[in-house]
Every structure is written in structure tokens, then in C-alpha cells.
Structure 1
Amino acid sequence: MESVILLLELVGTLAFSISGALTGLRKNMDIFGVCILGLTTAVGGGVIRDLILGSTPPATFQNPIYAAVAVAAALVLFLPQVRHLLMWDQALFDRSLFWMDTAGLGIFTVMGIRAAFGQLVQPGLFLLVFVGVVTGAGGGVLRDVLAGDTPYIFVKHVYASASLAGALVCALMWRTVGEIPAMLTGVGTVALIRCLSAHYHWNLPHAHD
């Protein structure tokens, strides 16, 4: 069980780190900026989650493996060969960013719910869903703010809404089907909604509509 959880956490960390590093590359940042964006995207949501739940110091500072994976992934992407490959093909760049964001969003959404169940005896549904969305989307918001962009969750595809749906599904299923099935279903829900929204160009109504 714990090995499965660790694997999911590492995959999510890797995915979000790549997402952050790609944004840094697009902004023509130096190696330090790319690493900071990768690290912040990977661990930012988890830090906010732990502070909300009163779990201090946050898990990121207790186990350096997550920060190490995030920085290592960002460094690999900064390699000239990798960087030029991604930046040369805009379609590849956009697809990479989309899939990394989607994977990280789904995994960290359900990890937030798991953390709430582990920290509290009887967490309410609102808290579970809120913590799940914050964990899933928080790192991306910090990434975009540091990069000087309008946060992705407010303008691109269906993002926070997908996290909200996945968190709700996971939280409702947790006590009936068990931890792992609920988490996998939650991740699948996020991925499905994100893919459908991209394919059919779903977006929430904008202020100018």
C-alpha cells in the first residue's frame, strides 16, 4: 500500500515539476528560475495543504526526496538537447505541458484528500474537497504568479473544475470502496474531464462572453 502511495506521489511530483520547468523555459528563465518554478509547482500545493491541516513542518521539509525529484527533473529539462527539442516544436511543448499538468492535478488532488483523512478523525466533505483542490491546483497557481501569468486555472480549459469533480468523487467513494480504488477513480475523473474539455474546447463562461 505505502509503496503504491509513494509511487503516485513521485509521479505527481515529477509531472508538476516538468510543468513548472516548461513554463520557465517558455519565459526564457535562467537555470535557477527554471528550477524554482519546477520546485514550487511540485511542492507548493502540498505545503499549503499541510498548513491548512495544521501539519507542521510540511511534509516537503520532512522528506527531501520530493524536492530532490522536482529539482532533478527541472535540471534535465534545462539540458540544451532537451530544451531545444521541446522549444522547437510548439505543438509538442503544448501537449507536454497539458499532460504533465493533468497528471499532477489528478494525483495531487487525491493526495490532498488522503492527507486530510490521515490528519483528522472525521473530516467533513467540504474540507476534503477544498483541501483536494488546493493541493491539486495550488502549485500551478504559484507557478503562474511567479512567472507573471494570469493563473492557468482561471483562463485555460476546465482545470480547477476538473480537480473539484475528482476530489468530490474520491471523497464520496473513500469509505465505501477503500482508499486505493477511490484515489484511482478520482485521478481518472480529473484526467477524463481535462481530456474532454481539451478535445471539445470546453471552457467556463468568461467575463467578455
Structure 2
Amino acid sequence: MEQTAFFIPLMDLIGTIAFALSGAVLAIGRDMDIFGVNILAIVTATGGGMIRDTLIGKFPPVMFRNPFYVLISSITANCCFVFFFFKARRKVAIPDNMVRVYAKVFFWFDTLGLAAFSVDGVYAGLSVGRHKSVFLLTFLGVMTGVGGGVLRDLLANQMPVILTRNIYACASIAGALVMAFCLEGGIERNTAILAGFFTVILIRCMAHRFKWNLPKVTSGRR
């Protein structure tokens, strides 16, 4: 019997915390109250998995059968809210150098979350049996990786980030493809997971370092 992928629970936890922070920070920036902060954090952290489970017919989705990750998302969101709440109450200005540090930390959390959920989605696709293919596994990986962020942006009334800038979804596609091809090639699951995970991180880091963006036509409208 093939070895169980023991990295998956760790990937789930990393992705949940990272994307919950992403949703919470955006909600605070949009002046939402504590309820809105929690909703956006939970949707960002679990929305991609919910879309994935719906696509493969897993009902109810995992987030409802195992609310552990919803709880982790909520705890993360409330910790984030309390931090910014007391900063605002004390009228403490965050120094410019700290803003840069926060931006770097946020980038790494977001990158780790994308990588973790991309490989998690591919792994979940293995449960569909004989119907699975490289295309299906890759699609599920990408939906899990970026789906929560799309829902987050729509709820925050802004254009989804993956449609406007950054090599983001492309990194998820590449990582999911690498993992899917590794699995199809008979490579051991944990090795395939690590290959896909680090592919996403590598592409995101290179895009960030060299300011890569996909080409687009500028309409001139604002």
C-alpha cells in the first residue's frame, strides 16, 4: 500500500492560517466590523476547499464535517482584529520599517498558503478514483489555491487580484501540474507533494524578485 501523505495536515494548517490572515487584513482595511473580519477570514481560508469538494461531489464539504479549520480561521481573525484594534485605540503609528517587515511577512504567509492549498487540492482529487486525470487534479489544485481569495475579493467589492496582477494563479497552476505529473509518473506521494509545494514558492519568489506580471491591455480608464 502506498505511504500516506503525512504532509497534508501540515499543509492544511499553514494554508488556513495564512489565508485567514489575508482575509482579516483586507477586511480591516475595508473598515469592516469584527463580524465582517471573521467572515472574510473564514471565506478566504475555507472557500477554495468548499469549491473543490463541491466539484468532486463530496457533500457536505469538509469545512462543515470538520469545523477545526473554521475555528482556526476565526481564532486567527480575532487575534489579528485585536492587534489592529488596540493599535488604533492607542493611536500608535506603525513605523515605515515595520510596514515593510509586515509586507514581507504577509507575502510569505500568502505564498505558503497558496502553495499549501494548491497541493492539498491535487491530493484531494485522488479520491475521485478512475475518473481522475492530470487536468482534473491540476484544476482542483488551482481552485483550492485561489478560490478562497476570489471569494474574498468579491465580498470586499474589488476585482479579484488573480485577474489583474501578479504571477499568482500561474504559480498555483505550475505547482499543481508538477505534483499531478509526479503522481501520474508513479512518484511517491510525499515527494510529489514537496515538489509541487516548492514549485509554487519558487515561482512566486522569482515573480516578486523580478517584478514579473502577465501582459495586459491598458484601456486608459480608471
TM-score (normalised: structure 1)? 0.92
Unaligned runs of 5+ in 2: none
Distance 1:185 1:112 in 2: 14
Q: Alpha-carbon deviations, 1:62-85, whole Å to 9, x = none? A: 001010000100000011368739
Larger Rg: 2
SS of equivalent residue, structure 1 residue 121: helix
SS of equivalent residue, structure 2 residue 177: helix
Deviating 4+ runs (over 3 angstroms): 1-4, 80-87
Distance 2:157 2:108 in 1: 22
SS of equivalent residue, structure 1 residue 202: coil
More helix by share: 1
Q: Could you say which residue in structure 2 is the equivalent of 1:119? A: 128
- Residue 107 (structure 1) aligned with residue 123 (structure 2): no
Distance 1:87 1:141 in 2: 31
Q: Could you say which residue in structure 1 is the equivalent of 2:213? A: 203
Q: Alpha-carbon deviations, 1:144-194, whole Å to 9, x = none? A: 111111111112310000000001000001142211111111111111101
Query: 1:128 is matched with which residue: 114, 137, 152?
Result: 137
Q: Alpha-carbon deviations, 1:70-115, whole Å to 9, x = none? A: 0100000011368739983442343233222211111111111111
Q: Does the Cα contact within 8 Å between 2:6 and 2:190 map onto a contact in 1?
A: no
Root-mean-square deviation (CA, aligned residues, Å) is: 2.1
Pairwise CA distance, 1:122: 4.3
Q: 1:27 to 1:124 in 2, by over 3 A?
A: same
Distance 1:4 1:63 in 2: 18
Pairwise CA distance, 1:119: 2.8
SS of equivalent residue, structure 1 residue 136: helix
Q: Letter of the 2:121 partner, please give it.
A: G
Percent identity over the alignment?
A: 42
SS of equivalent residue, structure 1 residue 157: coil
Distance 2:78 2:46 in 1: 16
Q: Letter of the 2:192 partner, please give it.
A: A
5 Å matches for 1:18-167? Answer: 18-80=21-83, 84=87, 88=94, 89-167=98-176
Q: 1:24 to 1:9 in 2, by over 3 A?
A: same
Q: Letter of the 2:206 partner, please give it.
A: L
TM-score (normalised: structure 2)? 0.87
